Amino acid sequence: MNKKALISVWDKTGIVEFSKSLVERGFEILSTGGTKSLLEQNDIPVTSVSDLTGFGSIMDGRVKTLHPKVFGGILADRKNNSHISDLLAMDAFEIDLVVVNLYPFVEQAIQKKLPINKAIEFIDIGGPSMLRAAAKNHESVIPLCDSSDYEDFISKFDNSNGQISIEHRQQYAVKIFEITTQYDMQISSYLMSDKNEELADKITINAVKKDELRYGENPHQKAAFYTLKDNDNSWSQLQGKQLSYNNYTDIESAFSIVNDFEQISCSIIKHANPCGFAIGDNTVEAFERAVSSDPVSYFGGIVGFNSIVDRELAEILVKPFLECIVAPDFDEQSLEIFKSKKNLRLIKTSKGFTLSNKMIKNALGGYLIQDRDQLSFDINNCDVVTKLKPRSNEINALELGWKLVKYVKSNAIVFANDNQVLAAGAGQMSRVDSVKNAIRKISETGLSLEGAIMASDAFFPFPDCIEIAAKAGIKSIIQPGGSIKDSDAIDVADDLGLSMLFTKARHFYH
C-alpha cells in the first residue's frame, strides 16, 4: 500500500517540487483548498480531503480538516490492532506524512495591526491540531511545518529506504511543539496587548534564537541572542564582525539615548555607560562635541546617532578605533568609506523601531520584570526649591542633564551644559564619590563649567555633594528630592547662591 501524505500549506515555497518528489517515491497526496489547486495546476495527482471525509469545507473555510477520518488516520497507533480496526470500520486509512504550515498570524495580524475581528481569521485551528497529532504519533507519522525541512526529509527518506529513524522522527516532532507553542504565545500576547500596562500573573516569551554568540560577557560564558518573532526586522547589521554580548547591551544604550532627543544627537557608550553625549547643528558637530567629553574613553566605544550617517561623518569615524556605529541609516558614500574598516560593525535601525516596554533580569532563581524607565519629563513641572531660579541659559542644560542621568549607572552624577555632557560620575557606592569623579574628569578634559549644571539620579542624603559641586563651578542642580534632609540641601544651595530643581522622580539604574 502506498504511503499517504496530507499537505495543506499557507506558505507554498517549494511545495510543488517537494510534492513531485513525494509522488516519485510512491506517496499519494491528500490536500485542501489553495494547496490542492496549486498541485493540480502543476499536474501532480492529488485527492481532496473532502473525498476522504465526505464532508466539504464550511464556515468560510474555518472547518476543513477537523474530522475523525483525518485525525484517526494521523493518530492511529500502527501497533494497536483496535486502532486499525477503528480506521477500517469508518473506511479511513493511515496517514504517514503531515505537511502543514500555519496561517501567518504575526505577519498578517500583528504587523498589519488588524482589529481583533479581522485578526482572529488568521488564528489557525486545523493546522496546529494536525501537526500536534502527527508529532504525538511521530513513531508512525512524520510532521513537517517548515519548507527548509523538505530537502532534509527527502534525503533521510532516500538514505533509509523510506524507514526514517525514530531519532529523526523525534527531531521533527520537537520542532512542531516548539513552533506551535510559539504560535500560541504570539496569539495570547496579541490578545493581551490592550492590557500590557499590568504585569500578568503568568507570562510567556515568544523568542527564537537569532544569533549564537562567541561568548557572553566573558570568554568562559556561553551566550546567544534571542529575538521576538514579531520584532525580528527591527534592525540590521550592514557590515562588520559578529556582534558580541557586550556589543548588544551597549548598542541598546546608544540607541536609547539618542532617541530621547529630537535634536541631532550623538552618544558614545563604554560598558553600558555614556562616556560622551552631545547635540549639534549636524552629526559631525554632535560627534566632535561628544568626543570632547572624554577623548580617551571613546576609543573602542559604540557610537549612536539619531540622524543619517553621511560621507563627511564617515571620513571622521573611520579614523579612530570604534566597535560599532548605530544609526537610522547610512548613505551609499559612507558605506563605501566604511569598507576600509571591514571589522567595524554598522547597525541600521528600522523606521519606528522601539525597544520593549518591559525589562527582565534574573534574581534568586526567578525573574524580575519591570516597566522600562520611560517616564516623560517636562521641566516646567519641576519644583524650584531654592530662592534663586535657574537662569535662562541653564534651563536647557538642566533638561539635557536630567535626560542623560537615567542612562548612567547608579550612583549617577552628570555635569552638562545646554549642548553636551561635560562629565559623568558613574557606578559609585557613594554619591559624593560620583561627584568627585565627574570633577576629576572635568579637570582632565579642561572643559568649561560656565553655565554648567549637575544632575543626580537620586536625592542627596547630605549636602556635601552640593558643596563640592559649587566649589567646582556648578551653578544649578536638578535632582529628585525626597530625602528627610532635603531642607539641609536647600539651605546649603541658598547659602551658596545656587538654584535647585526637584523632579519628584528617581532614576536608579543598576
Question: Contacts by 325-331 with C-beta closer than 8 Å and gap 24+?
Answer: 326/235, 326/251, 326/254, 326/255, 326/302, 330/238
Question: Would you report the helix, strand and coil content of the chain in percent, each value rounded to 5?
Answer: 40, 20, 40
Task: Write the CA distances from 130 to 16, 71, 125, integer angstroms.
Answer: 21, 7, 9
Residue 61 has pLDDT above 60, yes or no: yes
Q: Is residue 64 part of a domain?
A: yes
**Residue-wise pLDDT tens digits, 253-289:** 999 999 999 999 999 999 999 999 999 999 999 999 9
Residue 223 has pLDDT above 90, yes or no: yes
pTM for the full predicted model: 0.76
Residue 366 forms part of a structural domain: no
331, 349, 367: which is the final residue of a domain?
349
3-state secondary structure of 176: helix
Domain boundary among 349, 371, 403: 349
Is the distance from CB of 470 to CB of 435 less than 8 angstroms? no
Question: Using an 8 Å Cβ cutoff, are 94 and 4 in contact?
Answer: yes
Q: In the predicted model, is pLDDT for residue 194 greater than 60?
A: no
In this structure, the answer to whether residues 152 and 243 fall within a common structural domain is no
- Is 220 in the same domain as 188? no
The C-alpha atoms of residue 325 and residue 334 are separated, in whole angstroms, by 12
Q: Is 69 a catalytic residue?
A: no
CATH number at residue 119: 3.40.50.1380
Q: 299 with 187, same domain?
A: no
Within a domain: residue 157?
Answer: yes
Mean pLDDT of the chain: 89
pLDDT band at 231 (very low <50, low <70, confident <90, very high): low
Q: Which residues pair with 6 in a beta bridge?
A: 30, 98
Total tally of structural domains belonging to the chain = 3
Examine the fold and report which residue of 166, 195, 224 is the final residue of a domain before the chain moves on: 195
Neighbours of 488 (CB within 10 A): 15
Which range in 36-50, 59-73, 117-131, 418-432 is most confidently predicted, on average pLDDT? 418-432
**What is the grid cell recorded at 158?**
532516500
Q: What is the DSSP string of 92-154?
A: -----EEEE----HIIIIITTT--HHHHGGG--SHHHHHHHHHHHTTTT-EEE--GGGHHHHH
**Partners of 361 in beta bridges:** 368
Same domain, 469 and 390: yes
Residue 283 covered by a domain: yes
Amino acid of residue 10: W
Same domain, 281 and 326: yes
Say whether both 407 and 289 belong to one domain: no
Count Cβ atoms below 10 Å from residue 42 Cβ, excluding itself. 13
Answer whether residue 398 shows pLDDT above 70: yes
Per DSSP, the residues of 45-91 read --EEHHHHHS---BTTTTBSS-SHHHHHHHH--TT-HHHHHHHHHTT
pLDDT 10s digits, 452-471: 999 999 999 999 999 999 99
Range of the domain at 415: 379-502
The verdict on residue 356 lying in a domain is no
Amino acid sitting at position 415: F
Catalytic residue chosen out of the listed positions 3, 168, 229, 271: 271
Q: Are residues 238 and 187 in the same domain?
A: no
Same domain, 51 and 133: yes
Q: What's the confidence (pLDDT) of residue 199?
A: 72
**334 & 403 share domain:** no
136 carries an active-site annotation = yes
Lowest mean pLDDT among 207-221, 226-240, 368-382, 457-471: 226-240
Across the range 107-132, mean pLDDT stands at 81
Phi-psi domain of 85 (left: phi exceeds 0; alpha: psi -120 through 50; beta: other): alpha
* Same domain flag for 66 and 160: yes
For position 384, which CATH number holds?
A: 3.40.140.20
Residue 359 lies in a domain: no
C-alpha–C-alpha distance, residues 455 and 167, integer Å: 61
Cell of 488: 539641609
At 369 the pLDDT is: 84
| φ, ψ for residue 285, nearest 5 deg | -65, -40
Residue 202, in any domain of the structure: no
Does residue 418 sit in the same domain as residue 489? yes
Q: Name all contacts of 306-314 with Cβ < 8 Å and 24+ positions apart.
A: 306/258, 306/259, 306/261, 306/264, 306/265, 307/264, 307/265, 307/283, 308/283, 309/283, 309/334, 310/283, 310/334, 311/337, 312/284, 313/283, 313/284, 313/287, 314/338
Q: Looking at 136, 168, 241, 348, which residue is catalytic?
A: 136
- Name the region of 280 (left: φ>0; alpha: ψ -120 to 50; beta: rest): beta
Closest C-alpha among 282, 285, 281, 252 to residue 269:
252
DSSP states along 419-434: SBEEEEE-S-SSHHHH
DSSP single-letter state for residue 322: -
Kindly state whether residues 284 and 321 are assigned to the same domain: yes
**pLDDT band per the 50, 70, 90 thresholds, residue 58:** low
Alpha helix ranges (H) inside 329-391:
332-338
Residue 364 lies in a domain: no
Number of residues that make up the chain: 510
